A and B are shown apart, each in its own frame.
Chain A
């Protein structure tokens, strides 16, 4: 999948609010691409645009999403409908409420297969192989959604999204509202399924430890732009953007007491008042005066795949290392 120059935002009473600004990225086959950022960084907007499920007041001003040589954003509704669930799939943010409350799980699976004209003889074999993937017993099929626990409902949703073996899946914070153990279990399963079936996954989350744990490549978003992207190890060991660095530093480790020095200063960007120059400079520990004037372009580091959007790389990085040694 290739995403080219997306500009998208929301219509409001005070006019158009631009959120995504010239976002381009390539999702390679058979990997998990993690998209990270704080709340309000535009990552969920990006997820909706990728799936062409961005609805009014959301508007896409320009750009294209190329999947299998076709632009998803220009597709006819019925063509797009046939693609959904079979080629591409989506696991939503509020997966707990994604199931119809008044219908048994089995019938919801059937509905999905009726929608895609699957032969009735194949219904049960498809359901059981899909449930096996997410390690659910077949007796959940005769339950209503409210009779299942949050984790089980989440697994049902994943099973439903994988039912017709799509190759490309977008997960928008799929584990919101689950406790850590269940979350961990589900993420391990997702990773395993991805490896065995050779899926391409776009994984969107604000939870950095999880994201770095599961992804092969990472895209960092800030203020509706990509501020850094590359291999997960590059970002983890050599962050090229202070935002990545400061976010990683703010992750509390078990055993350390949280103190205010760990927390990133400032609040997430307000799309009505976007700062001049680098969007991140008001919150950056390494900002210099030029940062408030010059809006940096995406640049490459020595490694080909590692992109960043900073005026002061690699100077700030050396300062940071010295600082770390000093303390």
Chain B
């Protein structure tokens, strides 16, 4: 296999540039919002306590939250240095936990949900789309498309409630929420792993069902022009076997869905908020809701930064893979 070094280098440079831009924006945007967490907490105490609190307390809060009045360039420099050390500030809502500590504990759960559900739904959805496309305009195709369109447009939160109601509340087959049972010891042991899988079934099922339709429809619509293309009819005319012809069409049709795959892995880090909050799953989404409720700027900022990085990394990986899968792309950019 030829390794397209030039292409990879180019994509890496673009990735670094965009990442730097995103990090900078993440610094600028919160500073454009009036007020800061210290002021928020201070005013809440005054409002709810009803009494008067010394302004010195405000300065104390600001110092604890690491809010500084230094010039912007100094703040920016400190921000970059902190970021390089993985220091994202201190959470307001979970004071005095550092943001990085919260993310470090929440991210694995979200990744577990996202990666397992998207991998399954990508695989199953593409296979369904392939089947529908090959049997296009038949009753099999129509019924599959109906199902896909219905599922794709079904609101995730409604489906999550229905699933929860039926499987957790009515027939009590699966737990109502959480990531693992309180009766197991977290760690690398079999009861814990089984408990984790058992607790993940319902949220994963919900995410799969709502995202399946998009893959199915995308694949179906990509594979039909491929089936009608000149190189497919030529393969048929040379007596290629049915499975070979379908494989060629599928291989060419999956390329656009691959981009979608990366995008959705990136976006889903924040995109499973609904499922996480309904199933009280301790992922990033659940923390994000809390953070927004409590105006926890450092945590929101940290989560956004993580989402941005997830999207960028996802796209970067697909860009590189695309170079291997589609030689035309590689050449165009060389």
Chain A residues in the interface with B (C-beta under 8 A) = 51, 53, 81-86, 89-90, 92, 94, 97-103, 111-112, 114-116, 144, 146-147, 157, 160-161
Contact = CB atoms under 8 A, between A and B. Distances in A.
B239 A84 contact: yes
Nearest to A112: B238
B293 interface: no
A115 B243 CA distance: 10
A144 B231 contact: no
A146 B328 contact: yes
A102 B233 contact: no
A116 B327 contact: no
B238 to A, nearest CB: 4
Looking at chain B's contact residues, is the secondary structure mostly helix, strand, loop, or mixed? helix
A144 B237 contact: no
Contact of B326 (A53, A86, A102, A147): A102
B244 A111 contact: yes
Contact of B230 (A85, A98, A103, A161): A98
Nearest to B238: A85
Given A92-B230, A147-B331, A114 B236 contact: no
Contact of A115 (B233, B241, B252): B241
Interface in B233-286: 233-241, 244, 248, 251-252, 255
A1 to B, nearest CB: 16
Given A144-B327, A146-B327, A97 B241 contact: no
B239 A116 contact: yes
Interface residues of B, number: 22
List the 8 shortest-distance A-B pairs measured between CB atoms, nearest first. Answer: A84-B239, A85-B239, A98-B234, A97-B230, A85-B238, A90-B237, A144-B327, A115-B240
B327 A92 contact: no
B237 A92 contact: yes
B101 interface: no
Contact of B239 (A94, A97, A115, A157): A115
Given A53-B236, A98-B230, A102-B328, 6 more contacts: A98-B234, A99-B231, A102-B326, A111-B240, A112-B238, A112-B239
Nearest to B137: A56
A98 B231 contact: yes
B325 interface: yes
B238 A53 contact: no
Interface in B13-60: none
B331 A146 contact: yes
Interface of B: 229-231, 233-241, 244, 248, 251-252, 255, 325-328, 331
A97 B238 contact: no
A103 B234 CA distance: 14
A98 B244 CA distance: 15
B231 A89 contact: no
Nearest to A157: B234
A102 B244 contact: no
Contacts of B239: 81-86, 112, 115-116
A123 B283 CA distance: 55
B96 to A, nearest CB: 54
Contacts of B331: 146-147
A114 B235 CA distance: 12
Contacts of B241: 81, 114-115
A101 to B, nearest CB: 6
A90 B241 CA distance: 16
A84 B325 CA distance: 29
Contacts of A116: 239
B230 A94 contact: yes
B219 to A, nearest CB: 16
Contacts of A102: 251-252, 255, 325-328
A61 B262 CA distance: 50
Contacts of B231: 97-101
A189 to B, nearest CB: 19
Contacts of A92: 230, 233-234, 237
A51 B241 CA distance: 17
A115 B233 CA distance: 15
A146 B334 CA distance: 14
A126 B229 CA distance: 27
20 contacts: A83-B239, A84-B237, A84-B238, A90-B237, A97-B229, A97-B230, A98-B230, A99-B234, A100-B231, A100-B252, A101-B252, A102-B251, A102-B255, A102-B325, A102-B327, A103-B248, A112-B238, A115-B239, A147-B331, A160-B238
